Amino acid sequence: MEYNSQRDFYTQFLSDDALLGPFLLVARLLTTVSYVFYILTWFFGQPTMRAYMEPPPVPGVGLNYFFLSIQIAAVVLIVLGYKTRFAALVLAGFTVITYVLAGHGLKDFGIAGGLFAMFAIGPGPLSLDAWLERARSEETGNSYGGFFARILRNNTVMGPLILVARIFVAAIFLTFGQNKFFHTARMQAYMVGHNPTFGGTNQMLTLLIYPAMWLQLIGGLLVIAGYKTRHALLALAGFTIIAGNMFHHQFHIPAETVQFFKDYSLTGALLFMFAYGAGPLSLDALLIRAKPARERMEAESPRA
CA–CA separation, 287 and 7 (whole Å): 11
CA–CA separation, 161 and 137 (whole Å): 28
For 103, counting Cβ atoms within 10 Å of its Cβ (0-12 exposed, 13-18 middle, 19+ buried), the class is exposed
Residue (of 65, 111, 62, 61) closest to 88 by Cα position? 111
CA–CA separation, 61 and 139 (whole Å): 46
Residue (of 255, 263, 260) closest to 103 by Cα position? 255
CA–CA separation, 226 and 277 (whole Å): 9
Q: State residue 215's pLDDT score.
A: 97
- Name the pTM for this structure: 0.89
Residue (of 146, 270, 282) closest to 226 by Cα position? 282
Tens-digit pLDDT string for the chain (304 aa): 444 556 678 888 898 999 999 999 999 999 999 999 999 998 888 888 877 776 555 544 567 788 889 999 999 999 999 999 999 999 999 898 877 776 667 899 999 999 999 999 999 999 999 999 888 877 765 655 677 888 888 889 999 999 999 999 999 999 999 999 998 888 888 877 776 655 555 666 678 889 999 999 999 999 999 999 999 999 999 999 999 888 888 888 888 898 999 999 999 999 999 999 999 999 999 998 887 665 555 555 554 3
Q: Which residues, 6 or more positions from 150, have their beta carbon under 8 angstroms from its beta carbon?
A: none
Q: State residue 3's pLDDT score.
A: 43
Q: Which amino acid is at 92?
A: A
Q: What sign for the dihedral angle of Cα 160, 162, 166, 171?
A: positive
Q: Which amino acid is at 140?
A: T
Q: State residue 148's pLDDT score.
A: 85
Asked whether the beta carbons of 125 and 118 are under 8 A apart, the reply is no
